Amino acid sequence: MLQLTKRVIENTEIQQDICLISISWDKDAKPGQFVMVKCGDDTLLRRPFSIHSISDGELKILYQVKGKGTKFMQGLKKGSSISIIGPLGNGFTIPRDTSKALIVGGGVGIAPLLFLLEKLNHRGIHTLSLLGFKEKPFRVEAFEKFSKTLISTESGTYGEKGTVIEILREINLKGFDIVYGCGPKPMLRSLRELTDKEGIKCQISLEERMGCGIGACLSCVCMIRDKNGWSYKRVCKEGPIFWAKDVMI
Amino acid sequence: MLQLTKRVIENTEIQQDICLISISWDKDAKPGQFVMVKCGDDTLLRRPFSIHSISDGELKILYQVKGKGTKFMQGLKKGSSISIIGPLGNGFTIPRDTSKALIVGGGVGIAPLLFLLEKLNHRGIHTLSLLGFKEKPFRVEAFEKFSKTLISTESGTYGEKGTVIEILREINLKGFDIVYGCGPKPMLRSLRELTDKEGIKCQISLEERMGCGIGACLSCVCMIRDKNGWSYKRVCKEGPIFWAKDVMI
Amino acid sequence: MGKRCDDLELSINIGGKSFKNPVMVASGTFGFAEEYASYMNINEIGAVITKGITLKPTYGNPPPRIYESHGGILNSIGLQNPGIQEFIADKLPYLRTLKTHVIVNIAGKSLHEFEELAKRLDIEGITGIEVNVSCPNVEDGGIMFGKDPQLIEKITSLVKRSTSKAVIIKLTPETVDIESCARAAANGGADAISLINTIVGMAIDIRERKPFFKRVFAGLSGPAIKPIALAMVHRVSKAVNLPIIASGGIITGNDAIEFFMSGAAAVAIGTGNFIYPDCSIRVLNQIKHFLKENGYKSIREIGGISGE
Amino acid sequence: MGKRCDDLELSINIGGKSFKNPVMVASGTFGFAEEYASYMNINEIGAVITKGITLKPTYGNPPPRIYESHGGILNSIGLQNPGIQEFIADKLPYLRTLKTHVIVNIAGKSLHEFEELAKRLDIEGITGIEVNVSCPNVEDGGIMFGKDPQLIEKITSLVKRSTSKAVIIKLTPETVDIESCARAAANGGADAISLINTIVGMAIDIRERKPFFKRVFAGLSGPAIKPIALAMVHRVSKAVNLPIIASGGIITGNDAIEFFMSGAAAVAIGTGNFIYPDCSIRVLNQIKHFLKENGYKSIREIGGISGE
Ligand SMILES: Cc1cc2nc3c(=O)[nH]c(=O)nc-3n(C[C@H](O)[C@H](O)[C@H](O)COP(=O)(O)OP(=O)(O)OC[C@H]3O[C@@H](n4cnc5c(N)ncnc54)[C@H](O)[C@@H]3O)c2cc1C
Ligand SMILES: Cc1cc2nc3c(=O)[nH]c(=O)nc-3n(C[C@H](O)[C@H](O)[C@H](O)COP(=O)(O)OP(=O)(O)OC[C@H]3O[C@@H](n4cnc5c(N)ncnc54)[C@H](O)[C@@H]3O)c2cc1C
Ligand SMILES: Cc1cc2nc3c(=O)[nH]c(=O)nc-3n(C[C@H](O)[C@H](O)[C@H](O)COP(=O)(O)O)c2cc1C
Ligand SMILES: Cc1cc2nc3c(=O)[nH]c(=O)nc-3n(C[C@H](O)[C@H](O)[C@H](O)COP(=O)(O)O)c2cc1C
Ligand code: FES
Ligand code: FES
């Protein structure tokens, strides 16, 4: 939970505008937590990124180049220093009695799920991973190390044609104790509907524009159902992981 | 007079915070003219720099690292591209009948004088150069190629102790047809006084904060004596070279 | 056979005059155009707005006159200009050679001066008069004309009566009630509204322990003020039914598109001209690119947003 | 034997209370302090100013609530807060454990609400009340209290009468006549003035072709507004003889020094807290460094500039 100046160990573009950066790191974290990265002097606010994995003194971030901040990150050379705050947020919950878990990721939304998968695997929980991409899959080998992994692409070039929800519909959800999801909003909505219908627990990772990342500015709220109807919860503090059934998106 | 995207051929720190950058270049210019350099996205206005020399398809700028803009320039790697406007301004005048010229430079103010010296040399004009520095001289060998060169440092570590004006006082100005000067304001003031007293022609290069660099915004004015008393002249257009006797600094 | 990009309808109308496209250059940042002639084809843009002209030659403020802040610049030029007589004699001839509209920005110290300026500019080679109301009213203790809607209306109708040119009122952001100021201009008969002018700011030279500018205060422009300009343009576009010429930190085509969507009819590039002398041409090309990419046929299709 | 830096006199006075140094954190950017506890030693700064508190719990605006512009940020939080009751029950206990001053920012929808808030906060553990007059006055058609000097004076004297705490009036920059607003606060009995609050701005989502914020307008803060804030602080410091707590784009010690020189007694870090959670400590250390380097013994020596 500190602010740290860290070194870039490696930074590679694994596919056009999809990059993987490794940063020196010596703290533990929970899967689903995120960090806030200062992206040079030409941007003000830090950018939030899920923790993709932590091991051997390295923190990995899987990121997509979108605007000024991620463009700056793309240009970071090995050995350069970078200011990071984290780990932040609540992280995924793994209920005690979980024995089979389903992982559903879309695009760069697969980022936090690898770290989660490692943890599930470590706990001896059986997993199946469904990953959906636009055109070309990435990081699939990393998922395959820990679980059976099914792929879909919207172009149909690799795996099933369509979104990951298409594969999901063919799966018997009843076979799983819990579903974990991260990806674009429409995907999360379908996930909520499907798991709701089948009565399966489901946790999803949300994104919202952030200011501080530590719960102080109230920039990052989303509507969460509660006993009084709903209230605004902070994605950076009460999230980014929420129970799908409570999320009003 | 165009806006150009050029390549950095070399960029070296020749002394702490004093750098020499070579840029691909294919246009002619007059000594005393300057260029406007775009220093990255983190600054808005272009920064003005005198032309230090032009030869073999290379433009050289001698610059001191001061703030954001020059810090950006310091970081420019060989092969990177850089946006430049120029040559701009009027340049030094070399009167027809000149046979002996005195060059007086202080600190990074020596920058435009080397280019001038080359031209004077080319025209067969005899020259003497007086260069003053704070602690450690730089680019002296380049001046020595074309003229006898006397040095002063404020610390006294090299050459005469004191400012370049100290050496100037020991020189018989009457032996010269014209004096050319560039450096800090106090130096230029002394230069004006001394040349005024001896009735020697003197041209100096002025600095002022600039917006456009091309005469449109009226940011860069200085007070210049004229028939009506004085008027504001644009350093970027009517300057940066003025007759010392007209300059009200 | 027209060129490919002729498919795009870029022209706009102000005061009954047709402008070939909605990209202009803002007063005080483009001199009298000739300075930019070697950097771009000036005829390609919709209009040139000149530096502010006063009745008598004006010296302006002592240097330094410009300062770079975070994302913006402060200027303290102080309306330096050769005066109307020299403008007509020395500057207008070049402007007349241009194949685009010329709008002359005027600044008076009294109602009478505005009237006189407008009358003397009712000559060939000028399409419009842009009235800068951000100047002090010497007859009224030096308070800015632009803070008082009643004065704005008076100046507008006076100028309107004194000229056959399109009359554009350039509002100052130094008012709480920009809507009333715009309505006053409309009531006075303005053909268009221009905004925003620079915002009062200041910088300190902490080494010298004094204000950076001799006049202490200066005008802030550039990308830093873009969100403020957008808000004001949007408010004015809801308040009056006049074309708006928007300025305030426009450097890219996307900046311009933001202004069109918030209600502007045209954009004027100011500070951007200092960063890239051909900034206005770049913006124009980027606008065309945006329109094509998004399947628009006309600049007018993207104007005005819903969402409230 | 005191520490070396004890040679520097950093303390300031507001409303008869002594603050150990002039660096505070601005309302709405530091939550209720506990969020920052693991990033810095909160006790080292001069004061914590809390998020604005209303009488009833307030939901705030729909997301997105923050946008980064060039050199600044726009926010549309909309005063989300738990209300005074929960503030006192849940947030104040932690604040009371701090060894620095706590200033509670309040926002009312009517004169009565301001009075009520002030009364209920006249309790232990609070040093001052910062009155945010940038909120709409529901009794008066939703026009902002802060645009009307008379209302400012009324609120000030009402709050002053309702509490034993130091009363700080936080002015809005959305006024032409910031001097009159400051004088009104002084006449009402204010102990200090805080400025500037955010400036009305806007952003467009050009892809979606609509305003980025659901509420269309939002508040601009950060380095982009620093020159505007400096000018306003300077003007107010000439108009009234009250300590000024300045905010507006302060990220570094040099920024803070600029504000002291332009007339501020203290500075409040806002947006800077998002960039570096320990921004206020950095600023404090850089101020100390500047004072030492330049041979100043006291923060008061650098205040107030000449040059006009
Ligand atoms: C909890 C969390 C975890 C995330 N994890 C990842 C990840 O592992 N990999 C990855 O590629 N992306 C992730 N994102 C999205 C990532 O933060 C944005 O893509 C990134 O901030 C874009 O910055 P930019 O400067 O390149 O783009 P710009 O569009 O220029 O950014 C402008 C502003 O908008 C914000 N912003 C833009 N897109 C988003 C977004 N989707 N969510 C939140 N803020 C946004 C930026 O932070 C910045 O403040 C995550 C977002 C959140 C909230
Ligand atoms: C005609 C001319 C020729 C010059 N030639 C040289 C040269 O050959 N070598 C060299 O090292 N320097 C030269 N200078 C000074 C050089 O322009 C400044 O040192 C440089 O702009 C500083 O930029 P910065 O961003 O590093 O500093 P900052 O202080 O961060 O700059 C802030 C702003 O102030 C302006 N500024 C700062 N110092 C000066 C200055 N002395 N003159 C004009 N504007 C200034 C900058 O351009 C910028 O707009 C010249 C200046 C002029 C006007
Ligand atoms: C150096 C400078 C000089 C200016 N002179 C004038 C002027 O004479 N008359 C006027 O109405 N506006 C003047 N302006 C304001 C601009 O026309 C423009 O409205 C403002 O700068 C905002 O646009 P920008 O952010 O693109 O620069 C000037 C601006 C600058 C930067
Ligand atoms: C996210 C955010 C929330 C804010 N909330 C409040 C508030 O509740 N009450 C208030 O008086 N000011 C509020 N402000 C204004 C700040 O206190 C400060 O005056 C302003 O942001 C200018 O300072 P800065 O540029 O350092 O951020 C808020 C500012 C931000 C950025
Ligand atoms: S980003 Fe500030 S509260 Fe979540
Ligand atoms: S810098 Fe614009 S006129 Fe000289």
Domain assignments of chain A as residue spans, ordered by start:
3-88
Q: For C165-203, what is each residue's pLDDT tens digit?
A: 999 999 999 887 899 999 999 999 999 999 999 999 999
Question: D211 — contact with chain C (CB < 8 Å)?
Answer: yes
Residues B22 and B7: their CA atoms lie apart, in Å, by 9
pLDDT at residue number A2:
62
Are residues C279 and D183 in contact, defined by beta-carbon separation less than 8 angstroms? no
pLDDT averaged over every residue in chain A: 95
By most ligand atoms within 8 Å of CB, the mutation choice from A11, A34, A42, A47 for ligand 1 is A47
Q: Do B209 and C64 touch (CB under 8 A)?
A: yes
- Dihedral sign computed on CA atoms, order C164, C170, C176, C179: positive
Residues D179 and A69: their CA atoms lie apart, in Å, by 40
Q: For residue C170, give the ligand 3 atom closest to its CA.
A: 11
The residue of chain B nearest to residue C64, with distances taken between CA atoms, is B209
Q: Which ligand is nearest to the CA of D35?
A: 5
Distances A71 to A66, A75, A183 between C-alpha atoms, Å: 7, 7, 21
- Which chains have 3+ CB pairs within 8 A of B? A, C
CA atoms within 13 A on the CB side of C49: 33
Domain made up of A3-88: CATH architecture: Beta Barrel (2.40)
Query: Mutate which of D61, D74, D202 to test chain C, going by most C C-beta atoms within 10 A?
Result: D202
Query: For residue B67, how far is its CA from the centre of ligand 3 (angstroms)?
Result: 26
Query: For residue B68, how far is its CA from the centre of ligand 2 (angstroms)?
Result: 10
Q: Do A209 and D63 touch (CB under 8 A)?
A: yes
The H helix count followed by the E strand count for chain A is: 5, 16
By most ligand atoms within 8 Å of CB, the mutation choice from D53, D103, D200, D271 for ligand 4 is D271
Q: Which ligand is nearest to the CA of A113?
A: 1
Q: Do C31 and B209 touch (CB under 8 A)?
A: no
| Residue A1 in this model has a pLDDT that exceeds 90 | no
What is the full DSSP assignment across chain D? ---GGGGSB--EEETTEEESSSEEE-TTSSTTSGGGTTTS-GGGSSEEEPPPB-SS-B--PPSP-EEEETTEEEE-----B-HHHHIIIIIHHHHHT-SSEEEEEE--SSHHHHHHHHHHT-STT--EEEEE--SEEGGGTTEEGGG-HHHHHHHHHHHHHH-SSEEEEE--S--S-HHHHHHHHHHTT-SEEEE---EEEE-EETTTTEESSTTSEEEEESGGGHHHHHHHHHHHHHH--S-EEE-SS--SHHHHHHHHHTT-SEEEE-THHHH-TTHHHHHHHHHHHHHHHTT-SBGGGG------
Higher pLDDT, D51 or D140: D51
Q: Do A220 and D65 touch (CB under 8 A)?
A: yes
D185: which 2 tokens? Answer: 């606060």
pLDDT-derived band at D144 (thresholds 50, 70, 90) equals confident
| Residues of D recognised as catalytic | 135
Q: Which ligand is nearest to the CA of A210?
A: 5
Burial of B179 (0-12, 13-18, 19+ CB in 10 A): buried
Residues A225 and C197: their CA atoms lie apart, in Å, by 47
pLDDT-derived band at D145 (thresholds 50, 70, 90) equals confident
Average pLDDT over residues C23-45: 97
Are residues D174 and D147 in contact, defined by beta-carbon separation less than 8 angstroms? yes
Which residue among C38, C64, C68 places its CB closest to the CB of B1? C38
- Which chains have 3+ CB pairs within 8 A of A? B, D
Other C-beta atoms within 10 Å of A38: how many? 20
Strand, helix or coil at C308?
Answer: coil
Q: Are strands B126-133 and B100-106 parallel, antiparallel or unpaired?
A: parallel
Q: Chain A 24-43, CB below 8 Å of chain B: which residues?
A: 41-42
Q: Do A208 and D72 touch (CB under 8 A)?
A: no
Q: Which ligand is nearest to the CA of A216?
A: 5
Are residues C245 and C237 in contact, defined by beta-carbon separation less than 8 angstroms? no
Residues D22 and A81: their CA atoms lie apart, in Å, by 32
- Name the nearest CA neighbour of D277 among B9, A216, C242, A229: A216
Q: For C134-169, what is each residue's pLDDT tens digit?
A: 887 777 766 788 889 999 999 999 999 999 999 999
Residues B205 and B61: their CA atoms lie apart, in Å, by 16
pLDDT at residue number B3:
64
- Name the nearest CA neighbour of D179 among D236, D259, D246: D236
Q: Do C216 and D307 touch (CB under 8 A)?
A: yes
Question: B1 — contact with chain C (CB < 8 Å)?
Answer: yes
Q: Are strands C72-75 and C217-221 parallel, antiparallel or unpaired?
A: antiparallel
Residues C176 and C228: their CA atoms lie apart, in Å, by 12
pLDDT averaged over every residue in chain C: 94
User: What does the DSSP 8-state code read for residue C9?
Assistant: B
The ligand 3 site (C-beta within 6 Å) comprises B 211, 217; C 26-29, 51-52, 75, 77, 79, 105, 132, 170, 197-198, 221-222, 225, 247-250, 269-272
What is the full DSSP assignment across C113-165? HHHHHHHHT-STT--EEEEE--SEEGGGTTEEGGG-HHHHHHHHHHHHHH-SS
Q: Chain B 57-86, CB below 8 Å of chain A: which residues?
A: none
With a pLDDT cut of 70, the percent of chain D lying above it is 95
Q: For A89-136, what is each residue's pLDDT tens digit?
A: 999 999 999 999 999 999 999 999 999 999 999 999 999 999 999 999
Question: B209 — contact with chain C (CB < 8 Å)?
Answer: yes
Average pLDDT over residues C224-246: 97
Q: Which residues pair with B221 in a beta bridge?
A: B234
What is the full DSSP assignment across A12-41? EEEETTEEEEEEE------TT-EEEE---T
The domain ranges of chain C are: 4-60+78-200+222-302
Are residues C105 and C28 in contact, defined by beta-carbon separation less than 8 angstroms? yes
Q: Which residue has the tokens 């470590």?
A: A122
> A-B interface: how many C-beta pairs under 8 angstroms?
3
Protein residue with least CA distance to atom 50, ligand 2: B49
Find the radius of gyration of the CA atoms of chain D: 18
Strand, helix or coil at A71?
Answer: helix
- Name the nearest CA neighbour of D265 among D280, D286, D239, D244: D244
pLDDT at residue number A28:
92
The residue of chain D nearest to residue C223, with distances taken between CA atoms, is D70
Amino acid, res. C171: L
- Name the nearest CA neighbour of A217 among D271, D62, D267: D271
Distances D115 to A12, B102, D96, D185 between C-alpha atoms, Å: 59, 78, 23, 15
- Residue A213 Cβ contacting ligand 5 at under 6 Å: yes
The residue of chain C nearest to residue D203, with distances taken between CA atoms, is C227
Q: For residue D31, give the ligand 5 atom closest to its CA.
A: 3
Residues (pLDDT < 70) of chain B are 1-3
pLDDT-derived band at C6 (thresholds 50, 70, 90) equals low
| Residue A150 in this model has a pLDDT that exceeds 80 | yes
Query: Mutate which of A35, A218, A220, A233 to test chain D, going by most D C-beta atoms within 10 A?
Result: A218
B125: which 2 tokens? Answer: 């004009």
The ligand 2 site (C-beta within 6 Å) comprises B 34, 45, 47-50, 62-64, 66-70, 108, 111, 207-210, 240; C 68
Q: For residue A221, give the ligand 5 atom closest to its CA.
A: 4
pLDDT-derived band at C3 (thresholds 50, 70, 90) equals very low
- Contacts of residue D40, defined as CB under 8 A and 6 or more positions apart, other chains included, come to D277, D278, D280, D281
The residue of chain C nearest to residue B42, with distances taken between CA atoms, is C71
Q: Name the minimum distance, in Å, from the CA of D297 to any CA of chain A.
A: 32
Query: Mutate which of C42, C68, C69 to test chain B, going by most B C-beta atoms within 10 A?
Result: C68
Average pLDDT over residues A185-201: 94
Question: D66 — contact with chain C (CB < 8 Å)?
Answer: no
| Residue D308 in this model has a pLDDT that exceeds 50 | no
The 10 Å CB-count burial string (b at 16+, else e) for C180-195 is bbbbbbbebebbbbbb
Query: For residue C255, how far is its CA from the centre of ligand 4 (angstroms)?
Result: 26
pLDDT at residue number C305:
64
Average pLDDT over residues A169-189: 94
Query: Mutate which of B85, B208, B212 to test chain C, going by most C C-beta atoms within 10 A?
Result: B212
pLDDT-derived band at D143 (thresholds 50, 70, 90) equals confident
With a pLDDT cut of 70, the percent of chain C lying above it is 95
The residue of chain C nearest to residue B43, with distances taken between CA atoms, is C71
Amino acid, res. C89: A
Residues B44 and C171: their CA atoms lie apart, in Å, by 25
Q: Does domain D4-60+78-200+222-302 have CATH number 3.40.50.2300?
A: no
pLDDT at residue number A72:
96
Model ipTM value: 0.96
| Residue C2 in this model has a pLDDT that exceeds 60 | no
Q: Name the minimum distance, in Å, from the CA of B241 to any CA of chain C.
A: 17
Which residue among C203, C224, C262 places its CB closest to the CB of D202? C262
pLDDT at residue number B2:
63
pLDDT-derived band at D61 (thresholds 50, 70, 90) equals very high
